[in-house]
Structure 1
């Protein structure tokens, strides 16, 4: 890690490891606050594109920081060998760990989906698409507050200007990304729809034995609600899923529209009417 980091923070134990670097728990020498440090060895970066992505991640995090449901960034340090980011510490289990253990009630699922969509809507209002929303990147702090994390695949967008590039994770990536077409920020809404489906059903909506099979299923986008899994799921929840996992991007809800859907407004309870928000 960089010398600048060592001067201002004391590194503690390792709490995570990725392709290029390591995440440590650390403590501020000034405030005594416990935080996390993502330390990346530059020698492991394969080319200039990786370095550009690293710089972009820090800048994007600084742009979207300040929202209660987005992981905050505190400091960035860099020298010849290391690129270090000091970020908010989320030391509770992530959403991947939670969904792998049990099904969620509709009320519990809405309790996750509402702050997650608040975070997504905030990013979109700042002209940022996350592009890799998945349970592993949905963290919780010590007070169980949801925090959207890992902006390594995030990209800027502007009104009327689309994005390109195949990024994301099997199961959660939107079909227009896999098709190689231009796409917009609604790819994040699709990914959140997949998360909601998994919380309620325990399985992903588009499944395969390999990445290629998963991608084929996503591209077909044939959304089903098997009776054995959805017999107790409300019509309002299914309506929201249809409108988030809609292949026609022009009819797919925006993040703001998801937040106004009756199922979200009623915190997972059955609404009397389902508004047509398309």
Structure 2
């Protein structure tokens, strides 16, 4: 976590930001332990970003950092430079000078140590010290004695960069930035112009990498868009198929339920009405007709036998009556036969009507023999 205090228009702004990476000073210690050094490309990459940051602060915001050290420069992913710790930063008016003696003495410029007014070029001196330390992994001015250290800084006495490791542009840039005279020292724009070719190369590489990243982003965007389109198409197709399947299932279920409902309704109706099925009704109708015919034939046979019995009984009674009274025999016999004829004719018509009503199940048939016997007995008595 890094807290950045920025003074803008004499107002203090505290900016809190979580920065990934490690300070540049830790990279120096790590490389020194491994007996390695920065490559020139990496050295220029870090220094160019530092120059761009100082140009933004000096020319656009008129802010002097005043404490630019390796511990206040963070290196993130792919050596991304972030300038931190603006606690001693000061925003000054144009063509004005600062007089406060602040900062880390190892990276302080001669005018600060001499308590002279200073400006943005104090940060240029500190940038030269950082470039020297990236090349040698040691600060340009170092001494255990503070007076000796101050003397070295004021006179700009430092050991030269080892030859054969870096190009002359590195040594020239260091010497120009570590000029003890503030008036002769270049500002950040002049330093940038000194390394313009390296900076243009860096910017070209940066532009190329940006274009490649944009193309990659466009490919990823198209791939993502195509993926989502296919996913939406598959989802629509799946929903359509599920709808068709559910519709077919519903139709089958409705048909089966309707057929089972009709069958159950038919069975319920037949059970409630106590009616046999259709095939059985036809056979049942034929059996019923056959039974009716048999019953009628039995009734006719019984009726004929009854009539014969009645006639025989009548003959016997008439014979007896003739023996007893011969005077009234002939009229009685004639009247008796007339009564029998009428009664049998009436019984025959009634039998026909009852034959028609037999299937309807109406009442029982009266026996005509009883009526005849009653009439005969009544006539005999008379």
TM range (shorter): 0.5 to 0.7
- Would you tell me which structure has more helix in proportion to its own residues? 2
Aligned with residue 260 of structure 1, among 187, 190, 193 = 193
1:208 equivalent in alignment to 2:137: no
Aligned with residue 179 of structure 1, among 114, 128, 134 = 114
Which residue of structure 2 aligns with residue 9 of structure 1? none
Partner SS, residue 174 of structure 2? helix
Aligned with residue 146 of structure 1, among 81, 86, 89 = 81
Aligned with residue 237 of structure 1, among 170, 189, 197 = 170
Give the Cα separation in 2 of the matches to 1:164 and 1:150: 20
Give how far 1:59 is off: 3.9
Give the Cα separation in 2 of the matches to 1:96 and 1:251: 29
Partner SS, residue 171 of structure 1? helix
Aligned with residue 94 of structure 1, among 23, 29, 36 = 23
TM-score, normalised by the number of residues in structure 2:
0.47
Preserved contact between residue 110 and residue 267 of structure 1 (Cα < 8 Å): no
Q: How has the CA–CA distance of structure 1 residues 140 and 216 changed in structure 2, closer, same or farther, with 3 Å as cutoff? A: same
Q: How has the CA–CA distance of structure 1 residues 237 and 171 changed in structure 2, closer, same or farther, with 3 Å as cutoff? A: same
Give how far 1:232 is off: 2.3
Q: How has the CA–CA distance of structure 1 residues 96 and 105 changed in structure 2, closer, same or farther, with 3 Å as cutoff? A: same
Which residue of structure 2 aligns with residue 110 of structure 1? 44
Which residue of structure 1 aligns with residue 55 of structure 2? 121
Give the Cα separation in 2 of the matches to 1:180 and 1:86: 30
Q: How has the CA–CA distance of structure 1 residues 231 and 209 changed in structure 2, closer, same or farther, with 3 Å as cutoff? A: farther
- Runs of 4 or more, structure 1, over 6 Å off, are none
Give how far 1:267 is off: 5.9
Preserved contact between residue 223 and residue 245 of structure 1 (Cα < 8 Å): no
Q: How has the CA–CA distance of structure 1 residues 104 and 266 changed in structure 2, closer, same or farther, with 3 Å as cutoff? A: farther
- Would you tell me which structure has more strand in proportion to its own residues? 1
Which residue of structure 1 aligns with residue 179 of structure 2? 246
Give how far 1:249 is off: 1.4
Give the Cα separation in 1 of the matches to 2:131 and 2:153: 16
1:88-115 superposed Cα distances (whole Å, 9 cap, x missing partner): 2113111010122222122111111011
Q: How has the CA–CA distance of structure 1 residues 62 and 177 changed in structure 2, closer, same or farther, with 3 Å as cutoff? A: closer
Give how far 1:62 is off: 12
Q: CA RMSD, aligned part only?
A: 2.7
Which residue of structure 2 aligns with residue 225 of structure 1? 160
Q: How has the CA–CA distance of structure 1 residues 86 and 123 changed in structure 2, closer, same or farther, with 3 Å as cutoff? A: closer
Preserved contact between residue 193 and residue 241 of structure 1 (Cα < 8 Å): yes
Give how far 1:177 is off: 0.4
Give how far 1:231 is off: 3.4
Give unmatched runs, 5+ long, in structure 2.
Answer: 32-36, 203-382
1:232-258 superposed Cα distances (whole Å, 9 cap, x missing partner): 221111111111000111221111122
Give the Cα separation in 1 of the matches to 2:9 and 2:24: 20
Give the Cα separation in 1 of the matches to 2:102 and 2:38: 28
Aligned with residue 100 of structure 2, among 165, 174, 180 = 165
Aligned residue pair count: 195
Give the Cα separation in 1 of the matches to 2:198 and 2:103: 25
